[in-house]
C-alpha cells in the first residue's frame, strides 16, 4: 500500500495488490478508480476513504458507485456487478397490491418531509443491531436534498407518516437509497407511485443497487454493470423534463 503522502500520478490512492483503493480525503481532486477495479469478493467493493461532500457523492452516482458502510468503518464505496435496477415499464403490481392501491387509503407526497423519511429509514429495525445510515450519512443526504439533488416520497395514513423512501436524481436516472414502512404495504405504495411518476417524466431507469426480495417482487432485475454504466452515460446529462418534485395527476 502506497503512502498517502506520496505525490504521483495516483496521489489520491493507496493501492493494495488484492484490496480496494484508498481515497485520500485530503486530496483536492475528486475522482474514483474505474468501476472495473471493484472486487469480486466482497462483490463490488471498489474503494475506501474520502468524504461525503456533495461533489464526491454526485460523481459517485454518475459513475455507478454508491457509499455503504457501518458506524465503525471508513467510508466504503461500492459498484456491484450485476446491478439491480427497475425499468419503469417492468413495474410489477401484484393483485393484492393492486387492491391496496384501489382502496386509496394512503396519501402519497414528494419532498414533503425529507428529514423525517431519512430519520425513519435510519431507525433501528427488528433483528438488526444497527444501521448503515449514520449521522454522517444523514447530514450528507440532507445537504443533497437542500441542493435539489436528493428527494423523498412520503406515504401518509391520515396525518401519520407510515412509509416512504429517498434517493438521488441526476438527469433522468433515479438512484434509490432506502425505504421504510410502519404499516403493511406503505413503502410499496410509495415506490409504485414514484415509479409511475418517473415513467411519465421519461425516466428510463431506477437504480435499486443490490438484490432484495422486496424489490424483486416489484419487478426489479439484475443487469450487467457495463450496461448500467452505459445507461448512466446516456441519461445522467439529460434534462429531467420537469421542474418540481410533486405528483402530477
| DSSP string covering the chain | ---TT--STTTTEEE-TTSPEEE-TT-SS-----GGGS-TTTTTEEEEE----HHHHHHHHHHT-EE---TTS--EEE--SSEEEE-GGG----HHHHHHHHHT--EEEESS-HHHHHHHHHS--TT-S--S--HHHHHHHHHHHHTTSEEEEEEEETTEEEEEEEEEEETTEEEEEEEEESSTTHHHHHHHHHHHHHHHTT--EEEEES--HHHHHTT-EEE-HHHHHHHHHHHTTS--S-SS-S---
pLDDT for res 241: 82
Q: For residues 95 and 45, what is the distance between their CA atoms, to the nearest angstrom?
A: 38
Q: For residues 120 and 116, what is the distance between their CA atoms, to the nearest angstrom?
A: 6
First to last CA, the chain: 56
Q: What structural domains and CATH numbers belong to the chain?
A: 13-80 (3.30.70.3550), 84-235 (3.40.630.70)
Q: Residue 27's pLDDT band (boundaries 50, 70, 90)? A: confident
Over residues 184-210, the mean pLDDT reads 97
- The model's pLDDT over 236-247, given as tens digits with 9 standing for 90+, comes to 999 998 889 999
Q: Quick one: which of 35, 11, 40, 34 has its CA closest to 23? A: 11
Q: For residues 41 and 49, what is the distance between their CA atoms, to the nearest angstrom?
A: 18
Radius of gyration of the chain (CA): 18
127-157 residues labelled b (16+ CB within 10 A) or e (exposed): eeeebbbbeebbebbbebbeeebbbbbbbbe
Residues 148 and 172 sit within 8 Å (Cβ to Cβ): no
Q: Residue 188's CB: how many other CB atoms inside 10 A?
A: 24
- The model's pLDDT over 76-103, given as tens digits with 9 standing for 90+, comes to 999 999 999 999 999 999 999 999 999 9
pTM of the model: 0.90
Residues 205 and 86 sit within 8 Å (Cβ to Cβ): yes
- pLDDT reading at 10 higher than 70: no
For residue 136 the three cell numbers come to 454522517
- pLDDT reading at 11 higher than 70: no
Q: Which of 32-46, 125-139, 155-169, 207-221 has the lowest mean pLDDT?
A: 125-139
Over residues 47-63, the mean pLDDT reads 97
Amino acid at each position: 500500500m502506497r503512502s498517502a503522502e506520496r505525490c504521483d500520478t495516483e496521489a489520491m490512492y493507496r493501492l493494495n495488490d488484492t484490496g480496494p483503493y484508498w481515497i485520500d480525503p485530503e486530496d483536492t481532486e475528486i475522482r474514483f478508480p474505474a468501476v472495473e477495479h471493484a472486487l469480486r469478493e466482497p462483490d463490488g467493493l471498489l474503494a475506501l476513504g474520502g468524504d461525503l461532500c456533495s461533489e464526491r457523492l454526485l460523481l459517485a452516482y454518475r459513475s455507478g458507485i454508491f457509499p455503504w458502510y457501518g458506524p465503525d468503518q471508513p467510508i466504503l464505496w461500492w459498484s456491484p456487478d450485476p446491478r439491480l435496477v427497475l425499468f419503469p415499464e417492468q413495474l410489477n403490481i401484484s393483485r393484492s397490491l393492486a387492491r391496496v392501491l384501489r382502496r386509496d387509503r394512503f396519501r402519497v407526497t414528494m419532498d414533503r418531509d425529507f428529514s423525517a423519511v431519512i430519520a425513519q429509514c435510519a431507525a433501528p429495525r427488528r433483528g438488526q443491531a444497527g444501521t448503515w445510515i449514520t449521522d454522517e450519512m444523514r447530514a450528507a443526504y440532507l445537504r443533497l436534498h437542500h441542493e435539489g439533488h436528493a428527494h423523498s416520497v412520503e406515504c401518509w395514513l391520515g396525518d401519520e407518516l407510515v412509509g416512504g423512501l429517498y434517493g438521488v436524481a441526476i438527469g433522468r436516472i433515479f438512484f434509490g437509497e432506502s425505504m421504510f414502512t410502519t404499516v403493511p404495504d406503505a413503502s410499496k405504495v410509495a415506490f409504485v407511485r414514484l415509479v409511475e411518476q418517473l415513467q411519465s417524466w421519461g425516466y428510463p431507469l431506477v437504480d435499486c443497487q443490490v438484490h432484495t426480495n422486496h424489490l424483486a417482487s416489484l419487478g426489479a432485475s439484475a443487469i450487467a454493470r457495463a450496461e448500467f454504466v452505459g445507461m448512466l452515460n446516456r441519461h445522467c446529462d439529460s434534462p429531467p423534463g420537469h421542474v418540481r418534485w410533486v405528483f402530477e395527476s
